[in-house]
Every structure is written in C-alpha cells, then in structure tokens.
Structure 1
Amino acid sequence: MSIGIVFVILAIAMVLGPVMLMKPSGRQRQLARLRQEALENGLQSRISSVPKELGSYTAAPTIAVYQKRWLDRRYTGTETLMLYRTAYSHDIHFHGVWDWQEGVTMSSMPNEALKNNLDALPDSVLAVEISTLGVGLFWLEKGCSVETLSSFYPAIMNWVEEQGMLEKNVETAS
C-alpha cells in the first residue's frame, strides 16, 4: 500500500512540476507591468546587448532600452550617438560622469536643462542613445518609476534639436 502512495505522489509531482516551472516569477511579472506602463506613457521598450562601456555596471548580457520616438522630426545624424555613465567624474567628460562613446566628440556644451536632467537620472540609467528611432535610455529597470523616467526625455530631445541634429519630417509635415 505505501509503495502505491509513493507512485501516486511521484506521478502528481511529474505533472505539476513542469506546470509550476512555466509560471512567471515575481520579477517577470514586475517587468511586464513596467513595460506595459511604458507603452501607456508613450515609450517603447526593447532588449539590447550590453555595450562594452557598461560592462562594469552589470554582469547580464542584455539590458532594457526604453525609447521615446521622434514624432514630427527626423534625426539627421549619420550614426547612433551613445552617452554613457562612467565610473568617475572628470573635466574631459561631456558632463560630470557622462561621456560620449569612444570615437565621438561633441564640441558643444550641454545646456542647463540637459545638465540638470543628466544629474537627476537615477543610477540605474546607464546610457542615453540618440538614433534615427528616437532617444533611448539604457535602464536596469529599477530605482525609479516609468513615469519618472518619462520626465527626462523632453530635455534630452530639446538638446538634440538645439544641436541642429533634427529636421522636420516632410512625410508628416502639413
């Protein structure tokens, strides 16, 4: 009789085990909520490989990028620009701990709104990407809310426009 009970318990475990493994973890549910909230705030999220410059901040091979797209503008730059958080502040950096990816030099100084926004970004935001798609923030998905993250995009996008890197998109212009 006891061996029959053992077999029944093993059979139940064999059926329930894989089902329980497929159930999303608490962190997976939290990430799904964050990404849904991003969509509601006009942001798109994607997963990207961690750039080599950020290797000291995370051991993970990928990182989330929350992106605000250009709506009525078009980025005229020839390459994607990346502004990285460095481990230390230095005068030769673009601003404080923020510096451009290797090989990129920007001669203009950051404006006050951009400086304040870069200084206010939570430590979990590791990079700012400026591309034909829009402005993206490389974020560890912790340390602030999506709503707070959304508040940083206008100053960065205005700075890009001030640098003359945007033009009116003729397809959407009336």
Structure 2
Amino acid sequence: MSSQLPMSKSRIGFYPGTFDPITFGHLDVIERAAALFDHVIIGVAVNDGKHPLLSLEERLDSVQHEVTRLPHRGRISVRGFDNLLVDAVHAAGAGTVIRGLRSAGDFDFETQLAGALRRLAPEIETVFLLSSEEHRTTASRIVKEIARLGGDISPFVSLDVAARVRAKLAHP
C-alpha cells in the first residue's frame, strides 16, 4: 500500500493552467473541484511558450474576479507561478493536481503529464475531472481565434472576460 498524505495536504487541490482567457469550461472544473476539496488553489502559469494574449497580471485579475461568483468561493484562492509544476504544488501546500478533460486527446496528453508528475513527486496525486458536456468544445485558443476574427465569444466566456479580450485585441 502506498504511503498516505497528511489529511491537510490531501484535501488541498491545485488546478494549474494558463487561463488565457478563463472560460466557462475552466469555471465548471473549478466549481466542481471546490465542492470536492477543502481548498482549491488556481495556479495561473506564466507559460511564455504559449505566447499569451493577456499578461500574467491580467489573467490573475480575471481569474480572481470570475471565481468570486462561484458558490464555494471561500474555498478558492488564485496565485501565479513560473516554475516547475511540482515545485508550485509543493509551495502551495497541495497534495493533488486537478486537471480538466474535454476529449480523448486531452486524456492522452494529461496521462503523460500525470506520469511525469508521478515520477518527479510520487506523493502528489492527479485527479481528472471530465468537463460538462456543454463545455467539451471550449478551449482558450479557440476563443482567442474567434475573437481575433471578430466573432462573438460570449457563449464561452463571461461578459467581463469578453470585454477584456476585445480591449486587448484592439490595443495589442
């Protein structure tokens, strides 16, 4: 039998992502994770390799604003990170990484990530939450592409996030 995490660590989940921008799909996973864990930390990654549209500060502000509307908002905190995921999880005092899955393609990638995480830090568990059916086609990169081409992104993001994305595209 594997060693057990102390109860305090095992009940803190860390949900990492770029959140560029935060979508209804992300919020769905966050809301459901907050119902399962004592505390959920949203880790907003710097991830310059993805060339984010929004700055880290804009993404942190946006995520913080959006989670204030969720039912379990008292169990949720937001922080940025620019280091290795295992180091960010340890620094946050979490014992579980939360990942959202939309499709079989996500599953393939996420199981590879979970395997690498397990080899680096066997004490950290990874939990997958399947996106609600209505959000399975929602991806931040698709939202940004729709916005860049002048389309309506309100089915995928809040009005506040849509305004932030439109403003950023108008003034790069």
Whether TM-score is above 0.5 comes out as no
Higher helix share: 2
Larger Rg: 1
Higher strand share: 1
Relative to the length of structure 2, the TM-score reads 0.27
Relative to the length of structure 1, the TM-score reads 0.27
